[in-house]
Structure 1
Amino acid sequence: AELLADPSLFFLDEPTSGLDPGLEKKMMYTLRRLADSGRTVVLVTHATANIMQCDHVAFLAAGCLVYFGPPAEALTFFNVNGGDFADIYTKIEGRGDPHNPIVQRDLQAEYQAWQAAHPGGQIAPSLAELWELKYRASSSYQSYVAGRLGQGPPVATAQRAIAPQRQHRVSPLRQFGILARRFFDLTLHDRRNLLILLLQAPIIALLLLLVARSDALTGAQAIDLIQRGEAKKVLFMLATVSVWFGIINAAREITKELPIFQRERLVNLRIGPYLISKIVVLSALIVVQTLVLLGIVALNVHLPVDTGVLLPPLVEIFVTLLLTAMTGMALGLVISAAADSSDRAISIVPLALIPQILFAGLIFTIEGLATPLSWLTISRWSMDALGMSVDLNRLCNLSNTDSSGSIPPGCSPGFLDVDPAFTHSPAALLGRWAALLLYSLICVALTAWLLRRRERQI
């Protein structure tokens, strides 16, 4: 959130608390780089292992400023010879009675000055009070405190008009870069979840190879193929699995970081760059999944070589599956934006997947009221496009070796043997691709609207 606002001042309270030594060092060096880039970083810490990364340190004890200046000079000021800043803590805590070895060695003059200012004092001063007296009389105080206060601009009075401050806004492009890099790093470092997502494609592809015939999409004998039914099963699985990839990849990505999103909205986070960063990173994952799925399936299931509408069939199938998965991803983002928790989002996923199976046109005949409902499913448009690329209608014209001369299942005599859904034409294929893109845009717009509604909860 702080980096998205791109402030000139950071004030951090115990940023290294609870970190192991390695992460503490990494944090301090990160803050050092922020300071080197022109920002001011102020932090409260009790960890001193990497304190030398600071330009100045301030030691406070019992409400007293006992030192402010460069870290190296602090060791000299407190007469610490071992170079361990932790030894300073032992010197500034406790009472400063005259028998205290620290007073006798380092603070005799300050103790006498305190006695002169408090004649008849019954209670010994604290060591912090004596160190403060010593610091105020030192050259470090004159150089790093008094001198700087004297050179600073006059403090504005209550009567003086306060100039309005210009709110610094980070460009959408910079926000996108920060968010995309962060989301990519989080995805990459969540190795267990990433491995599960990446293994889905090869596992499902290998299972499909066990049941799919190698000539399901080609073949020469219609009766051997059981006609279009065998081919439609393979295409149905490819379409449904692609929808699954997209939805499951995105279903948790917003809801799991909803508190972070709400906080970052307070520092001018734009919804557009936030959504685009999700889409870009998830799309890269989808490209890998689609390539693996189609590549493994193509090893055994032969693809036709001359049935493409605009491009080679393999390329058209890849484009269709990629658009299908990305549309599923957009639907998954809607689910994630609408759900209040990751568990609830996952429980909604089956409700989004079941209609993709019912209305794809393979298991049940789509007619009556089911026809307009099928237009709302991703699998319907994906199946149509895949059927065009492999020219499913062509299978009804294959030679029939059945001795009875019966019509192969899935085809009918005359003009009824051609399914209009698989019309082999550029306009029809581009129309299905356009439908998938439009579906994606509607889902993205709905996601943005749901995220904007979340502002009421901030």
Structure 2
Amino acid sequence: MDAVWYGPFARLADWFQGLRDGRQGIPLVVEPAATPSRGGEVTISGLVSTPHREVLIRRAHEAFGLEHLRHEAAWADDVTRLARQMAQREQAALVLTTANHRLAEASTALSESELVARRPGEDSRGEPLIVLRRSREHARRRLAAERTVESAQTAVDRLDVEIIAGRESIDRRLTVLETRLRRIHEHSHRRLAAYRRRLVRSHRHGPLVSRAMDVLNPLMPGTVRPFGQRVPDVPTPPPTPTPVPSTPVLPDGEVFELRDSLLIGSSPDADIFIKGYRVAERHAVVERRGGHVTLKDLGHGDGTYQSGRPVLRTQLEPESSFDIADYRFVLSKDSRTISCTSLGACDLVVHLLSAESRAGKKIEPRLTRMSFVQREQKVLAILGPSGAGKSSLFAAVLGELETSSGDLYFRGLDVRTHLDQLRPSLGVVPQEDSLHRALTVRQLLGFADRLRRPSDRAPSRADPIAGVCEDLDITRCLDKPVEKLSGGQRKRVSIALELLAKPTLLMLDEPTSGLDPGMDRDVMMVLRAVAQRDCTVIVVTHATEHLHLADQVLVVAPGGCPVYCGPQPDLLPTLGFETYADLMKSLQKPDETAEKKSDPRVEEYANGEAARTAGQLAERIANTSVSQDIPERSRSARTAFLHQLPILVARQVTLVLPVLSARHVKDDGHVRKAALSSAMPFVIACMSAILAAAVTGEAGLGGGTVSTAGPTALSILITLSVLTGQALTYSNLVEERPVLVREHRTGMLTTSVVLAKWLVFTVVVLVQTALATLTFVLIRPGPVYAVTGLAPDVELFVDLSCTSVAAMSMGLLISAACRQLKEAVTVTSLMVIAQVALNGVTTSLSSGSWIVGALAGLLPARWGLAAAASTVDIGVIAPRSPTTHPDDLWWHTTRHWLLDVGVVGLLSVAFVGLAIVVLNRRLHATR
């Protein structure tokens, strides 16, 4: 904040007042205040002042008061809101306590008498049915109590965040007020000093007056905070007798008797009720057939796992185990009961983890002897300079970076061997906002929720969108397009996309990058609230402003070498620096990046408490881990494909027709833009047909007369079909590459993505071709011949449609193979030129070079034009055309037409298949 302006007129006034008062002898030195001393000097007893000085002091006090009143009025609403939120927080804590008590009562196992208690009308029912009913009623009561606890806990967490934000808002206002008062205080003393200097120089007894004049007034005002103190900290909730149960909700060691069939799922009617976002209502079933016990996954949820592999069907041996979501089920030694336990705390244990990558012959270390332990419900901030390998840990956890040595455990499971099992529990928020920006927030989150939740769960049963949006304060943005959001709002939407699946390990790469200081603080506060819900949060950052919001900080030097892991307040003292700038500069020194093993800080960390704790936990997990059997039949991806395909088709339709996503948008300009964008492909098809008709001539495609315009018309129509087909898809996959990478991490199948796009674009191509064919034949004469017995115009539509679909499929392959959009544009341009030159009209392909013919045979235009030429009988309508070359594929016979159309279809299938393979390899490639 700048100083208060001390202008030239004020300076002149103070100087003049000092000069005038000094010459007039003000303040007046008279007896008895002044007495001759022994040396004949005059002294003044007491303090003196002048009218001008008193005016300046009074004005300063008035300015202090006015500033204070102005700021009190400014923060009055904040103080009232904070008081209301604190009262609501106390009430919400009481509600949470009551809900916990009720949950504790509902979680108590039923006694024998309660299990066989009969309701009115159940006297004639058998005891097994009564026991089953009471058990299901008990499960429903427990589920209702748990939902109440979750709702109350969400309210408490939301109020905590609001109270912290309100407190910091008031503190910021108070800081501004104190700074403003300090500036007024400095300004007043500057004026008084200027006046006093001139007064002392002009007064006859200047030195005496200077010593007798008070230089302390006006004093700085005292405390100005509301209630006479800082805003109180967020109150802690009262202790609860029973902790809020998180996933899993079953008590450890609960035992279930094994009957002929035992259903496991999230439905209250299941024999073993378990909870989890990806747990299906009918998830798996354990069956007893004779002396054998069989486990069968029903294919609706995320999967059932043994040894980290998905199970379709397998035989369970005594004391064998299997995992579903966050639970481990163990068959007893006598195969009569199944016990259910939790997998354990959501702790991430990293011990001596090393990894490297190759760039040609050069080997770059990515991780070097990384060791630390991150506990659940905690936030870890990874700090380091650019290129230090902060994000390499994420790549190792996700299986995208192959590690060379070390241990990596999460929830007591080896991440490298149980990655498929742990993947649904991992949430990754990339640095870039990898989102479909044409969708609204509601549509974006809705499609993500439908894709990730089990296929047998009704939408009304699990709709976390409202709760997640409320927690992240983006409820007002639900019906806004993502492209219209601010950077902070898009970052919150990106986080919400991962929180939908309730991950137990949330990893964020530079979540505050590019955000304003206020927004990045809000994001960190949101992450703290997320961590309190049984989630481990890891944040990669190079910013240091809000490190105090993290529970511990991991400092990484270049090469992925850890040098510190612990609380933020101890970071700088431990490493011996005064500022973070000095620390970051030290980490970037060339001599420290040459050989990390010789860095004393790295060696000290490797021998320190953090690395020692990680080693002890890793050894304990390795010694206590239970080996599981290999499943007899692993689960295939067919069920996931059938679940994902219709949802991806619906999403692609919304992306292709943006007007569908603009239905709930209140911005008329955006709606008009979306409508124009939706209609543009079809308008272009009609305009292309008009252009083709204009340059074809009046004869069109023959109209029953001999004409030289037929081959030209066919060439133009085929070229336009190729252009409109490839234009739809050549940029689609390459532009969505960041989104596809993110979705692939969550289990999205490449086949589902490519086929969904192909199906939607095929429909668009058919509509485009129908409009183009209709427009052309309305302007120019169409063909009069046909091969198949269909109407000539319909058969021409089939020829053009097949060609356009094949070109669209080639566009998908180009988009999948190219790394950047400019590469896709270049390749597409070359393909269009090749198809114009090698379609069979401009040059003879039957009698020319076999190399040229082979190259032309790989292009849709070659076979599409041959099919169209066969339809219109090009040899009849243009027998003596100089541009017509004899071609073996143009004969007006059913056999030749079927060959041409069949090859076009095979090319389409080949292009789509290659696109799936190429895209899948790119998505599986390590970083």
294-303 or 166-175: bigger deviation? 166-175
Cα distance, 1:153–1:93 mapped onto 2, change above 3 Å: farther
Q: Could you say which structure has the larger radius of gyration?
A: 2
Cα distance, 1:306–1:338 mapped onto 2, change above 3 Å: closer
Q: Following the alignment from structure 1 to structure 2, what is the Cα–Cα distance between the partners of residues 253 and 288? A: 19
Matches within 5 A, 1:263-342: 263-342=742-821
Counterpart residue number, 1:442: 910
Which among 630, 640, 644 is matched to residue 175 of structure 1? 644
Answer yes or no: is the 8 Å Cα contact 1:92–1:127 preserved in 2.
no
Which among 853, 871, 874 is matched to residue 392 of structure 1? 874
Counterpart residue number, 1:368: 848
> Cα offset for 1:240?
0.9
Cα distance, 1:271–1:395 mapped onto 2, change above 3 Å: same
> Cα offset for 1:149?
12
In the alignment, residue 443 of structure 1 is paired with which amino acid? Answer: F
Q: Following the alignment from structure 1 to structure 2, what is the Cα–Cα distance between the partners of residues 148 and 254? A: 37
Answer yes or no: is the 8 Å Cα contact 1:317–1:389 preserved in 2.
yes
Cα distance, 1:352–1:87 mapped onto 2, change above 3 Å: same
In the alignment, residue 316 of structure 1 is paired with which amino acid? Answer: E
Report the 3-state secondary structure (helix = DSSP H, G, I; strand = E; otherwise coil) of the residue aligned with 1:281: helix
Cα distance, 1:127–1:102 mapped onto 2, change above 3 Å: farther
In the alignment, residue 266 of structure 1 is paired with which amino acid? Answer: R
Matches within 5 A, 1:87-98: 90=166
Work out whether 1:428 is the aligned partner of 2:896.
yes
Q: Following the alignment from structure 1 to structure 2, what is the Cα–Cα distance between the partners of residues 147 and 323? A: 55
In the alignment, residue 319 of structure 1 is paired with which amino acid? Answer: V
Q: Following the alignment from structure 1 to structure 2, what is the Cα–Cα distance between the partners of residues 147 and 328? A: 52
Q: Following the alignment from structure 1 to structure 2, what is the Cα–Cα distance between the partners of residues 149 and 215? A: 76
> Cα offset for 1:329?
0.8
Report the 3-state secondary structure (helix = DSSP H, G, I; strand = E; otherwise coil) of the residue aligned with 2:892: coil
> Cα offset for 1:100?
9.0
> Cα offset for 1:178?
2.1
> Cα offset for 1:209?
2.3
Report the 3-state secondary structure (helix = DSSP H, G, I; strand = E; otherwise coil) of the residue aligned with 1:365: coil
Q: Following the alignment from structure 1 to structure 2, what is the Cα–Cα distance between the partners of residues 297 and 445? A: 33
Answer yes or no: is the 8 Å Cα contact 1:180–1:277 preserved in 2.
yes
In the alignment, residue 827 of structure 2 is paired with which amino acid? Answer: I
> Cα offset for 1:355?
0.9
Would you tell me which structure has more strand in proportion to its own residues? 2
Cα distance, 1:280–1:164 mapped onto 2, change above 3 Å: farther
Q: Following the alignment from structure 1 to structure 2, what is the Cα–Cα distance between the partners of residues 317 and 352? A: 23
Cα distance, 1:55–1:372 mapped onto 2, change above 3 Å: same
Answer yes or no: is the 8 Å Cα contact 2:734–2:821 preserved in 1.
yes
Give the percent of matched residue pairs that are identical in Structure 1 and Structure 2: 22
In the alignment, residue 334 of structure 1 is paired with which amino acid? Answer: L
Counterpart residue number, 1:212: 696
> Cα offset for 1:186?
1.9
Matches within 5 A, 1:238-253: 238-253=717-732
Answer yes or no: is the 8 Å Cα contact 2:702–2:784 preserved in 1.
no
Q: Following the alignment from structure 2 to structure 1, what is the Cα–Cα distance between the partners of residues 779 and 246? A: 81
Counterpart residue number, 2:532: none
Q: Following the alignment from structure 1 to structure 2, what is the Cα–Cα distance between the partners of residues 420 and 342? A: 38
Matches within 5 A, 1:162-241: 171-189=640-658, 191=674, 193-219=677-703, 221-222=705-706, 225=707, 229-241=708-720
Per-residue Cα deviation, 1:398-453 (whole angstroms, up to 9, x for no partner): xxxxxxxxxx44499xxxx9754321111111000111011112212221221122
Q: Following the alignment from structure 1 to structure 2, what is the Cα–Cα distance between the partners of residues 163 and 193? A: 57
Q: Following the alignment from structure 1 to structure 2, what is the Cα–Cα distance between the partners of residues 252 and 294? A: 26
> Cα offset for 1:148?
12
> Cα offset for 1:102?
7.3
170-179 or 145-154: bigger deviation? 145-154
Cα distance, 1:147–1:393 mapped onto 2, change above 3 Å: closer
> Cα offset for 1:142?
4.9
Per-residue Cα deviation, 1:256-296 (whole angstroms, up to 9, x for no partner): 11122122222222221111101011111101110111010
Q: Following the alignment from structure 2 to structure 1, what is the Cα–Cα distance between the partners of residues 624 and 685? A: 67
> Cα offset for 1:143?
7.4
Counterpart residue number, 1:110: none
Answer yes or no: is the 8 Å Cα contact 1:93–1:127 preserved in 2.
no
Work out whether 1:451 is the aligned partner of 2:908.
no
Report the 3-state secondary structure (helix = DSSP H, G, I; strand = E; otherwise coil) of the residue aligned with 2:925: helix
> Cα offset for 1:204?
1.2
Work out whether 1:356 is the aligned partner of 2:462.
no
Matches within 5 A, 1:13-52: none
Answer yes or no: is the 8 Å Cα contact 1:94–1:127 preserved in 2.
no
Would you tell me which structure has more helix in proportion to its own residues? 1
* Structure 2: gaps of 5 or more residues: 1-142, 172-223, 254-341, 345-620, 660-673
Q: Provide the aligned length of Structure 1 versus Structure 2.
A: 339
Answer yes or no: is the 8 Å Cα contact 1:309–1:424 preserved in 2.
no
Answer yes or no: is the 8 Å Cα contact 1:385–1:432 preserved in 2.
yes
> Cα offset for 1:376?
2.2
Report the 3-state secondary structure (helix = DSSP H, G, I; strand = E; otherwise coil) of the residue aligned with 1:422: coil
> Cα offset for 1:249?
0.7
Cα distance, 1:201–1:94 mapped onto 2, change above 3 Å: closer
Answer yes or no: is the 8 Å Cα contact 2:814–2:827 preserved in 1.
yes
Q: What is the TM-score normalised by the length of structure 2?
A: 0.33
> Cα offset for 1:88?
8.1
Q: Following the alignment from structure 1 to structure 2, what is the Cα–Cα distance between the partners of residues 328 and 90? A: 58
Which among 224, 233, 239 is matched to residue 127 of structure 1? 233
In the alignment, residue 230 of structure 1 is paired with which amino acid? Answer: A
> Cα offset for 1:57?
3.8
> Cα offset for 1:390?
1.1
Q: Following the alignment from structure 2 to structure 1, what is the Cα–Cα distance between the partners of residues 699 and 872? A: 12
Higher relative contact order (CA 8 A, sep 6+): 1
Q: Following the alignment from structure 1 to structure 2, what is the Cα–Cα distance between the partners of residues 136 and 102? A: 24
> Cα offset for 1:200?
1.5
Q: Following the alignment from structure 2 to structure 1, what is the Cα–Cα distance between the partners of residues 247 and 658? A: 45
Counterpart residue number, 1:18: none
Q: What is the TM-score normalised by the length of structure 1?
A: 0.63
In the alignment, residue 919 of structure 2 is paired with which amino acid? Answer: L
Report the 3-state secondary structure (helix = DSSP H, G, I; strand = E; otherwise coil) of the residue aligned with 2:732: coil
Which among 249, 256, 262 is matched to residue 741 of structure 2? 262
> Cα offset for 1:210?
1.9
Q: Following the alignment from structure 2 to structure 1, what is the Cα–Cα distance between the partners of residues 648 and 701? A: 43
* Structure 1: gaps of 5 or more residues: 1-39, 41-51, 60-66, 79-84, 105-123, 398-407
Q: Following the alignment from structure 1 to structure 2, what is the Cα–Cα distance between the partners of residues 163 and 339? A: 43
Matches within 5 A, 1:38-187: 55-58=151-154, 67=156, 86=162, 90=166, 127-128=233-234, 131-132=235-236, 135-136=237-238, 141-142=240-241, 145=244, 152-153=251-252, 171-187=640-656
Answer yes or no: is the 8 Å Cα contact 1:247–1:329 preserved in 2.
yes
Answer yes or no: is the 8 Å Cα contact 1:94–1:126 preserved in 2.
no
Q: Following the alignment from structure 2 to structure 1, what is the Cα–Cα distance between the partners of residues 169 and 758? A: 55
Cα distance, 1:355–1:150 mapped onto 2, change above 3 Å: closer
Cα distance, 1:58–1:299 mapped onto 2, change above 3 Å: closer
Cα distance, 1:245–1:148 mapped onto 2, change above 3 Å: closer
Q: Following the alignment from structure 1 to structure 2, what is the Cα–Cα distance between the partners of residues 313 and 284? A: 22
CA RMSD in angstroms, aligned pairs only: 4.1
Per-residue Cα deviation, 1:326-383 (whole angstroms, up to 9, x for no partner): 1001111111011112222112211010111111122233343233332222212111
In the alignment, residue 127 of structure 1 is paired with which amino acid? Answer: D
